[in-house]
Amino acid sequence: MIEQRLECLRAEMTRRGVDAVAVVPSANLFYLTGVQMHVSERVTLLVVTRDAAHLIVPALEAPRVEARARVPLTLHAWSDAEWVKAGWASLAQHCALDGKHIALDYYSVRALEWTQLQAAARGAQFSDASPLFDTLRMVKDAAEVDAMRRAARTLETSLDALLNEVRVGKTEQELAARWQWLMFEHGADGIPEAPIVASGSNSALPHTTATAREIQNGDLVIFDGWCAVDGYYGDITRTFAVGAITDELKHIYDLTRRANEAGRAAAKPGAQCQDVDRAARKIIADAGYGEFFVHRTGHGLGLDVHEAPNMVEGDTRVLAPGNTFTVEPGIYLAGKGGVRIEDDVVVTQDGSECLMLSTRELRTL
């Protein structure tokens, strides 16, 4: 499968007139090689040309790369004593980059790698490789969707277990840490950061982090978590009431639930990404709360928590079977509380499938 990905990449390179693609440790490196690595002070750089794949790699990482790579790689290993100049010297003996058109992933490459590449490829033309990878990664195969489905189950079962522990007086931070642990217990193999637990007035902050605030009666509490299984992410948000809440909070919950349903219904082959956003946003705007829905309706999901495409006005890309993304409308009332309901969706041949099974009806804890 991964060898086929490299061939698809090379076909796209040829179509776009790109001679080489440079990739640092990231989801794209895993996508092309099957090797998971992290960015560090030791430079690691994959260079894919029309006929080969080269990896500048610290010598201490070379045995692991050799054991786990699922495609042929020419390794240019360098030791701490030599530092990375030895890797670049080795690459130069196998791969002429001067004057070439080189695409880099602008979202992950650092100035560190870019400046070194510029020195090694005199007169080269550089461009952003992100659109190229978007084209390849937006359509998931059955194995990728299955991994995402298992990530969704992990999120739902771990959240169900967490809800048994929610009590008035518990802090957001306590619940976030506990949920993260439960994700691992229920099958996650990757959690990049702590989940969001936002209660009361904090729930009106879409991208807050968990604080020392204690859960109180009358709160809405947003639980937003993400985790990976076999490298692929699930992403879920559910909002719950703690005790009795105001009629207005009940109202915005119902609007958000209906917007989520409308967005999911709009996801089908041939629709544009912005159609999903329009369908969800119309429910909220028509009820007079449009100004309180302050973010896109969804984002692509896969090897990254956020990737292409986006469910937002202006994204006119046409949905096709295998596209995977979130549908997560929200309403946020400053000083009162907020609601977000998020599901993961995959486009099918005749519509879409929601990977989440848990209810969207308002639950009181």
Of 13, 81, 1, 82, nearest to 47 (Cα)? Answer: 13
Tokens, residue 301: 């999901």
Contact 343, 309 (CB under 8 A): no
Read off the pTM.
Answer: 0.94
Going from the first residue of the chain to its last (365 residues), give the mean pLDDT of each consecutive group of 10, the final group possibly shorter: 93 97 97 95 97 97 97 97 96 96 95 96 97 96 97 98 97 98 96 94 97 98 98 98 98 98 98 98 98 98 97 98 98 98 98 97 97
Residue 173: the pLDDT is 98
Residue 6: the pLDDT is 95
Contact 99, 124 (CB under 8 A): yes
Contact 103, 128 (CB under 8 A): yes
DSSP state of 59: G
Name the architecture of domain 142-354: Alpha-Beta Complex (3.90)
Residue 71: the pLDDT is 96
Three-state secondary-structure class, residue 295 = coil
Residue partners of 4: CB distance under 8 A and separation at least 6: none
Name the architecture of domain 2-137: 3-Layer(aba) Sandwich (3.40)
Of 184, 102, 198, nearest to 151 (Cα)? Answer: 184
Cross-sheet strand order for the sheet of 324-327 = 307-311, 298-300, 324-327, 343-347, 352-354
Residue 338: the pLDDT is 98
Residue 192: the pLDDT is 84
d(CA 163, CA 177): 13
Domain positions in the chain: 2-137, 142-354
Residue partners of 270: CB distance under 8 A and separation at least 6: 318, 319
H-helix or E-strand spanning residue 220:
strand 220-229
What does the pLDDT look like over 101-136, one tens digit per residue?
A: 999 999 999 999 999 999 999 999 999 999 999 999
As a whole number of Å, the CA-based R_g of the chain is 23
Residue 165: the pLDDT is 96
Residue carrying structure tokens 């992950």: 108
Residue 51: the pLDDT is 94
Residue 84: the pLDDT is 96
Show the 3-state SS of 68-103: HCCCCCEEEEECCCCCCHHHHHHHHHHCCCCCCEEE
Residue 231, Ramachandran bin (φ over 0: left; ψ between -120 and 50: alpha; else beta): left
